[in-house]
Amino acid sequence: MLLLAGAGAAATPPAPSAAAPSAAAFASSAGLKALSGTLAQPIYWAGSAPAATVYELTRLKNGSIYIRYLPRGTAAGSGSPYLTIGTYPLRDAFGATTVTARAKNAVRVPVTNGVAFYSSLRPNSVYIAFRGTDYQVEIYDPSQAKALATVGRITAVRTAGIPLRLPAAPPAPAAAPTPGPHAVTRAELTAAAAAAPAPIYWLGAKANVTYELTQATNGRVWLRYLATDGGKAAADPARPHLTVGSYRQSNPYATTLSAATKAGATPIPVKGGAAFYSSASPGNVYVAFKGIDVLVEVFDPDPAVAQAAVRAGLVQRVR
């Protein structure tokens, strides 16, 4: 990713490590759409490929997603360079990319409703940002001509209603009494849930944690369990922690039930609902209950923790 980590071709996505929840895995076009339907971010690609091509998906914990177009029969994780589309979270991506596109060695590329360029020093990577989104797109191809030809094909794999704005720090209305993430007591959490227009979910009370609540104006809610040290302030709250997201959606049960049957998905039995996680992102488990218009996401940097919480039936409404 050019703007956040320095110029570099995306020929091979970064090797999964502490920053990546899983290795590269194959995904069908239907699987990509199902995953996009459960994420709070878009997945960009170059559209459907010929039957002789398969899609390789790699998702990092920082929200970066890579789709590689591999010839059928090529092993996932192959080090050979192929057409790769990277999606990178970046606030005001259009503004930031516009600035970089004016830098020395930058060559502008025409694109509809956005800005695109490549560096003459690394001409095989083209960077794009569309107006109104918080995501930068990188197109890499061993052939510069093919990379440039792909610019006009870039689109987002997404279902209706999936937002294109970063959810981590949503803008709060001026009159909001508690804008942004803030620590809450058990009583304050219960009060917030009672006043919310839709149910807020959590994993129940836990010892030695601080509850951090974020409520977006679009109805999305995140509750983080921040580990404490002897009751003192949460240590390193910026690092990933156990998080439960509650997202208002129309009939998420049907969507989740369908997504759980797709390639790469592992269903988890849930009383009165459906749940699954993707092999591309096993630390993110999605849950939906019959008759409730809220999709629940349980995340933990240790996938086993998130999966075990859902299997144990800990996902419940805050009351």
Residue 28 sits in the same domain as residue 114: yes
Domain membership flag for residue 225: yes
Angle, in degrees to the nearest 10, between helices 29-38 and 252-259: 140
Per-residue HEC secondary structure of 112-126 comes to CCEEEEEECCEEEEE
Residue 129 sits in the same domain as residue 199: no
Residue 153 sits in the same domain as residue 216: no
Q: For residue 244, is pLDDT > 50?
A: yes
Residue 136 sits in the same domain as residue 195: no
Contact criterion met (CB below 8 Å) for 135 and 89: yes
Domain membership flag for residue 163: no
Higher pLDDT, 34 or 122: 122
Residue 43 sits in the same domain as residue 120: yes
Domain membership flag for residue 168: no
Higher pLDDT, 149 or 63: 149
Residue 114 sits in the same domain as residue 199: no
Which range of 5-9, 61-65, 114-118, 259-263 scores highest in mean pLDDT? It is 114-118
50-54, 66-70, 230-234: which has the minimum mean pLDDT? 230-234
Residue 188 sits in the same domain as residue 140: no
Higher pLDDT, 43 or 160: 43
Residue 221 sits in the same domain as residue 152: no
- What local confidence, expressed as pLDDT, does residue 274 receive? 95
- What local confidence, expressed as pLDDT, does residue 246 receive? 93
Looking at the structure of the chain, the number of domains it has is 2
Rounded to an integer, what distance in angstroms lies between the CA atom of residue 198 and that of residue 263? 31
Q: Tell me how far the alpha carbon of residue 60 is from its chain's centroid.
A: 9
Domain membership flag for residue 79: yes
Domain membership flag for residue 173: no
The rounded radius of gyration (Å) of the Cα atoms in the chain is: 20
Percent of the chain with pLDDT over 90: 36
Residue 93 sits in the same domain as residue 191: no
Contact criterion met (CB below 8 Å) for 153 and 46: yes
CB atoms within 10 A of CB 106: 18
For residue range 94-153, list pLDDT tens digits in order: 998 999 999 888 999 999 889 999 998 889 999 999 988 889 999 999 999 999 999 999
Residue 12 sits in the same domain as residue 120: yes
Domain membership flag for residue 114: yes
DSSP 193-221: HHHSSS--EE----TTEEEEEEE-TTS-E
What is the rounded average pLDDT for all residues in the chain? 79
Percent of the chain with pLDDT over 70: 80
Domain membership flag for residue 25: yes
Residue 130 sits in the same domain as residue 187: no
CB atoms within 10 A of CB 165: 18
Last-in-domain residue among 122, 157, 192: 157
Q: How confident is the model at residue 238 (pLDDT cuts 50, 70, 90)?
A: low
Residue 83 sits in the same domain as residue 208: no
Contacts of 260 (CB under 8 A, 6+ apart): 266, 267, 274, 275, 276
- What local confidence, expressed as pLDDT, does residue 84 receive? 92
Domain membership flag for residue 30: yes
Higher pLDDT, 314 or 302: 314
Which three-class secondary structure state does DSSP give residue 141? Answer: coil
Domain membership of residue 11 as a residue range? 2-157
For residue range 254-295, list pLDDT tens digits in order: 989 988 888 888 999 999 999 999 887 788 899 999 999 999
